[in-house]
Amino acid sequence: MENTITLQADPRGNYVTWANGKRQVRSLLKAHGYKAVGTFRMRKENKNEFSIIAHKEGKAYRVTAARKPDAPLVFTPNPLTH
């Protein structure tokens, strides 16, 4: 896998807002050659973690990241595509 991909803090403080975090995850995935598919898991299911499916080179990954600054994006392979 590539180097560690992490979220950045909001300019207003040491936290990651829900809207800004989703934007960051999508742009980081795109910058590293992944395509985000569908929508993020709903905030009410787990307000402290971002989770979305991403594809790269015909393989699917569940991408998760804690909702805090410098949290790494974690790529879990989907066993049906690997």
- The model's pTM: 0.89
Q: What is the rounded CA–CA span in Å between residue 27 and residue 6? A: 12
> Which residues, 6+ apart, have CB-to-CB distance to 22 below 8 Å?
40, 50
Helix (H, G, I), strand (E, B) or coil at 37: strand
d(CA 3, CA 32): 10
pLDDT tens track for 4-46: 899 999 999 999 999 999 999 999 999 999 999 999 998 899 9
